[in-house]
């Protein structure tokens, strides 16, 4: 229904930054507890952004702020497409364009630290895209459409037929969330040898835009996980939320349990996971389908 799609899209725009802020705060607390520290308040991300907005902007920040604002807008539109049940391939494209806008914004600064961070950000995009495209193809093969809303007309959750695609997505989420062992460009925790990566020289409004963008991105990424568990049964939404929570906790545990690897390892492993998980799962899917064992 059109009115429901519009309502969900509006709710995403309003609720996503609040939820993303709380998730980020919970991430900091859980990370601190795993390291036997007390940790900050769950609202600390909000306090950080409010303080950043109170700072004076530098005179040469205009182009950078515009590009970062475009990055935020594209990500919001991607989330609107997702929650409105629109084309999932378009959602992935907009999410990627948002990452590229951030890279362009960072490349404005000539600092060598920033330039190293920019190169690593580009590398991370190259590592994630193959698996994300296979994810979109998996949605099409399962439902016969790229439409996100088509998942709510299925009888079984997508994870039943595309388990390896799900595993591959969880793998690249470690890169998208900037968690160890793949936090080679930047991180939301203070353990980077290149300080803050591409955002090293940013301050004030620029950093605030990056943080709010991260809040929206968190909700979108966790929603991608939930897509594997939704069906025509309304109660499946609760299962999707639970699955997203479990995956996020897993990512936090991985972040605090593994040391950072070299970029070569990240590149090879991400493409290998995409190749193996994607090709094997699609082969299984077509074999089962050709034998008449798939019922939607």
Q: What are phi and psi of 87, to 5 degrees?
A: -65, 120
Rounded percentage of the chain residues whose pLDDT exceeds 70:
92
182 vs 294, residue with greater confidence: 182
- pLDDT above 80 for 292: no
Residue 294 pLDDT exceeds 60? no
Query: Is the CB of residue 78 less than 8 Å from the CB of residue 57?
Result: no
DSSP state, residue 260 = P
Q: In the prediction, which pLDDT does 1 show?
A: 64
Most confident of 78-92, 104-118, 275-289: 78-92
> Is the predicted pLDDT of residue 157 greater than 50, yes or no?
yes
Q: Confirm whether 295 is domain-assigned.
A: no
Closest C-alpha among 76, 98, 70, 86 to residue 136 = 86
What pLDDT is attached to residue 295?
A: 41
31 closest CA partner among 267, 256, 232: 256
Q: Is 221 helix (H, G, I), strand (E, B) or coil?
A: helix
pLDDT at 296: 40
Per-residue pLDDT tens over the stretch 30-54: 988 888 888 888 998 898 888 888 8
Distances (CA, A) of 178 to 157, 197, 232, 238, 255: 28, 11, 33, 27, 9
Tokens of 157: 């959750």
Q: Residue 60: pLDDT band by 50, 70, 90 thresholds?
A: low
Whether the predicted pLDDT of 148 surpasses 70:
yes
28 part of a folded domain: yes
What residues contact residue 176 under an 8 Å CB cut-off, 6+ apart?
A: 124, 128, 217, 221
Contacts of 196 (CB under 8 A, 6+ apart): 117, 186, 202
The answer to the question of residue 296 being in a domain is: no
Question: DSSP for 78-124?
Answer: HHHHHHTT-BHHHHHHHHHHHHHHHHHHHHTS--HHHHHHHHHHHHH
More confident residue, 72 or 118: 72
| Segment among 79-93, 183-197, 281-295 with least mean pLDDT | 183-197
* Count of domains forming the chain: 1
Does residue 151 register a pLDDT over 80? yes
Least confident of 50-54, 75-79, 182-186, 224-228: 182-186
Q: Is residue 240 one of the residues assigned to a domain?
A: yes
Q: How far apart are the first and last CA of the chain?
A: 21
State residue 94's pLDDT score: 93
Q: What is the pLDDT of residue 76?
A: 94
Query: Does any domain span residue 106?
Result: yes
Determine, yes or no, domain membership for 146: yes
Mean pLDDT over all residues of the chain?
85
Domain range spanning residue 157? Answer: 2-290
When pLDDT is cut at 50, 70 and 90, the band that residue 188 belongs to is low
* Residue 230, in any domain of the structure: yes
- Can you give the pLDDT at residue 289? 61
Most confident of the following: 30-34, 62-66, 169-173, 204-208: 169-173
Long-range contact pairs involving 278-281 (C-beta distance under 8 Å, separation at least 24) = 278/130, 278/131, 278/134, 278/137, 278/138, 278/164, 278/165, 278/168, 280/164, 281/138, 281/162, 281/163, 281/164, 281/165
């Amino acid at each position: 229904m059109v009115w429901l799609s519009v309502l969900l899209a509006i709710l995403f725009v309003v609720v996503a930054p609040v939820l993303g802020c709380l998730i980020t705060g919970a991430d900091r607390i859980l990370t601190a507890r795993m390291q036997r520290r007390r940790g900050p308040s769950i609202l600390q991300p909000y306090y950080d952004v409010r303080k950043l907005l109170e700072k004076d902007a530098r005179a040469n920040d205009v182009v950078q702020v515009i590009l970062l604002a475009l990055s935020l807008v594209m990500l919001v539109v991607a989330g609107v497409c997702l929650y409105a049940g629109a084309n999932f391939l378009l959602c992935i494209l907009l999410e990627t364009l948002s990452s590229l806008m951030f890279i362009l914004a960072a490349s404005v600064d000539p600092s060598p630290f920033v330039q190293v961070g920019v190169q690593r950000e580009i590398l991370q995009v190259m590592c994630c895209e193959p698996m994300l495209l296979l994810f979109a193809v998996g949605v099409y093969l399962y439902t016969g459409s790229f439409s996100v809303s088509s998942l709510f007309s299925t009888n079984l959750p997508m994870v039943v037929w595309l388990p390896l695609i799900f595993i591959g997505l969880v793998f690249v989420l470690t890169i998208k969330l900037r968690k160890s062992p793949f936090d080679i460009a930047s991180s939301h925790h203070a353990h980077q040898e290149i300080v803050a990566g591409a955002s090293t020289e940013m301050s004030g409004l620029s950093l605030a835009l990056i943080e709010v963008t991260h809040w929206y991105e968190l909700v979108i990424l966790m929603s991608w996980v939930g897509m594997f568990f939704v069906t025509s049964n309304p109660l499946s939404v609760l299962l999707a939320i639970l699955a997203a929570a479990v995956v996020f906790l897993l990512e936090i545990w991985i972040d605090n349990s593994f040391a950072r690897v070299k970029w070569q390892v990240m590149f090879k492993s991400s493409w290998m996971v995409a190749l193996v998980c994607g090709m094997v799962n699609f082969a299984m899917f077509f074999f089962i389908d050709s034998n008449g064992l798939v019922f939607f």
